[in-house]
Amino acid sequence: MPRIICSINATLSGTCHHGDVVADADHHRYAAALARSAAALLLGRATYELFAAFWPRALHRRDLPAEVLELARVLDANPRIVVSGREPAPAWPGTTRVAGLEALRATLAGIGGSVVLFGSPGLAASLAAAGMLDEVHILLQPLFATRGPRLPPLRAGQAFRTVSAERFGSGVVLLRCRPAG
């Protein structure tokens, strides 16, 4: 079973909405490096649909910064696994859908290295409850917001330890955490 690393954005008020993110060069370089280190990407259906609507087309745009284009290349090159009970849209070649955690476990059994879960707070909460998260990256956004889901509870009663903290130029703080013990 590969290591599962969850990377999620959260505001100071604890919400996780895709529009409440400082998506600057540091953010895109971090995401590209993390995705490059992964054997596959893992997404919930809603996050997949957001990604699939933007990133494949971003590959062909000339108006985007180099860091965004690099992230588009990395996301497109990685195999993607979507956990969903129904077929997501639009289609993005290189994507596999699995329905439920047992099907996900079976799919992950054939993958070595690490798998990165981007966003997907509902799926992150399910994986945490099943004890399947090995590392959590929280990109703490320097703003208060009220829209979107709350940062998912990782695992009731489980302690995490911060293994590193990095401040981006925008004020975003990247916390890398692992389960304690």
Of 152 and 78, which is predicted with more confidence?
Answer: 78
Is the confidence at residue 155, as pLDDT, over 60?
A: no
Length of the chain: 181
How many other CB atoms sit within 10 Å of the CB of residue 83? Answer: 24
Q: Angle of helix 66-77 relative to helix 45-58, nearest 10 degrees?
A: 120
Q: Taking all residues of the chain, what is their mean pLDDT, rounded to a whole number?
A: 91
Identify the band that residue 153 occupies on the pLDDT scale cut at 50, 70 and 90: low
pLDDT value for 179? 83
Is the confidence at residue 100, as pLDDT, over 60?
A: yes
Is the confidence at residue 27, as pLDDT, over 70?
A: yes
Of 128 and 54, which is predicted with more confidence?
Answer: 54
**CA–CA separation, 25 and 107 (whole Å):** 33
Identify the band that residue 157 occupies on the pLDDT scale cut at 50, 70 and 90: low
Q: What is the pTM of this model?
A: 0.92
Phi, psi values for residue 103, rounded to 5°: -65, -35
Identify the band that residue 167 occupies on the pLDDT scale cut at 50, 70 and 90: very high
The β-bridge partners of 179 are 160
DSSP letters, 35-84, are HHT-SEEEEEHHHHHHHHHHHHHHTT-SSS-HHHHHHHHHHHHS-EEEE-
The β-bridge partners of 121 are none
Q: Which tokens hold the place of 168?
A: 């981006």
**CA–CA separation, 144 and 161 (whole Å):** 24
pLDDT value for 35? 98
